[in-house]
Structure 1
Amino acid sequence: MKANSQRVKGKNFRPLHGKPLFRWILDTLLAVEEIDEVVINTDARHILAENGLVETDRVRIRDRQPELCGDTVSMNLILADDLAAVEADTYLMTHTTNPLLTPQTIRSALTQYQDGVAKGEADSLFTVNKIQTRFYRGDASPVNHDPDNLIQTQDLEPWYEENSNLYIFSRDSFAKTNARIGKQPLLHEMDKMEASDIDTPEDWDLAAALAGMRMAKEAAE
């Protein structure tokens, strides 16, 4: 969790419907009983404290190493630092910028991952958006369809977009690739309304609108 952000200034601590953005995903993670500890890797411990967040029996705040600060540092290097300091059988990684991720999706992904590992069919998992639409290159040449034989988009081969919402892996799988995605990853398809990832001001506006819709629906139930 960085203090500064390039495209949406201070987004991790900016209020979203009455609470700072980081609080959305933190509250979600703490609502999942299967998660023993939430580790926050940050260069902004003081800002978290100003927002009322301190360490508890389930929340650990790790100060990001100076050499790992900055906008161009690979997240896999930050994860490697966390793995070296935090012992666990299973690691689950998400971002402050995924405010609409639900406990239900996290539990479902954990179950899929655990089943895949138990069967020897997987060593990691990441969430995706399923996309079935017509793609073109910059020169207007088709990528995944025949313009002379237009079929329904729902009949096109599905493509899967890594949506940066959730990654699950083990220490062993990380060691094989030095990355959060191992050699035998599972794809966990998410509802696009839930898979919001805030990178731009437009993303923020969309997430705020979707969060408002969710809150209104929950209030009416």
Structure 2
Amino acid sequence: MKGKNFRLLHGKPLFSWILDTLLAVNEIDEVVINTDARHILAENGLVEGGRVRIRDRKPELCGDTVSMNLILADDVGAVQADSYLMTHTTNPMLRPETVRAALADYRAGVASGEADSLFTVNRIQTRFYREDASPVNHDPDNLIQTQDLEPWFEENSNLYIFSRDSFARTNARIGRKPRLFVMDKLESLDIDTPEDWALTEAVAAMRQNAAPAVA
């Protein structure tokens, strides 16, 4: 979907959704936007100031095939912080309360020594098959209820939290001892295709209709 980051989603540019969410979380000291489209952000009313910093993406880091970990390495090298939280413009349904809960879970894991990083996942309990129709995680001759199957966890690309040290150990946003943070499926929507956009539009409308009226 060309230009999706600036396309209007339910009345406001896509990038504004996640930016508003992050700025609503007081624990986040600064929001760093790594982009090759500063001028388009400005055309949409977003410039540096307050808690927002815009970093121009280096030419060698532009393109759909560049690893996000390389972009993050550039940001980590330029931005000093105790902890880094990474998300995408394409995750507009992520809520501030989920970000706060993930931060608290990450800090608890670090304090206990049980974790050095965190990433969000979808919990899935369903029957999987290979392309040749052979079962992956169940026995067709001994069917059990799907809710009793071993849960599998899908990385949903919504949220990653890590430190400078954990990133240095793996050169990646996921450290050696990551903590999995389960999200609501409708909140974890990630927009890649027109179908994803249509579903996200529907969820955004549902949220608006469910919001309490303000007198």
Instruction: Say yes or no: TM over 0.5.
Output: yes
User: Is 1:149 aligned to residue 142 of structure 2?
Assistant: yes
Equivalents in 1 of 2:61, 2:11: separation in Å?
Answer: 31
Q: Deviations over 1:1-54 (max 9, x none)?
A: xxxxxxx11000000111100000000000000000000000000000000000
One of 173, 176, 179 as aligned partner of 1:186: 179
User: Is 1:117 aligned to residue 110 of structure 2?
Assistant: yes
**Code of the aligned partner of 2:161:** I
**Code of the aligned partner of 1:189:** V
Equivalents in 2 of 1:34, 1:27: separation in Å?
Answer: 14
Equivalents in 1 of 2:74, 2:212: separation in Å?
Answer: 41
Per-residue deviation, 1:193: 1.1
SS at match of 2:15: helix
Q: Deviations over 1:57-78 (max 9, x none)?
A: 2000000000000010000000
Which residue in the other structure is 2:74 paired with? 81
SS at match of 2:18: helix
**Code of the aligned partner of 1:194:** E
* 1:59-74 superposed matches below 5 A: 59-74=52-67
Cα RMSD of the aligned pairs, angstroms, is 0.8
**Code of the aligned partner of 1:212:** A
Which residue in the other structure is 2:162 paired with? 169
TM-score, with structure 2 as normaliser: 0.98
Equivalents in 1 of 2:213, 2:124: separation in Å?
Answer: 31
Where structure 1 has 5 or more consecutive residues not aligned to the other structure, the ranges are 1-7
SS at match of 1:79: helix
User: Is 1:218 aligned to residue 206 of structure 2?
Assistant: no
Where structure 2 has 5 or more consecutive residues not aligned to the other structure, the ranges are none
Equivalents in 2 of 1:77, 1:215: separation in Å?
Answer: 37
Equivalents in 2 of 1:218, 1:25: separation in Å?
Answer: 18
- Percent identity among equivalent residues? 79
Per-residue deviation, 1:219: 4.2
Q: 4+ residue runs of structure 1 moved beyond 6 angstroms?
A: none
User: Is 1:23 aligned to residue 27 of structure 2?
Assistant: no
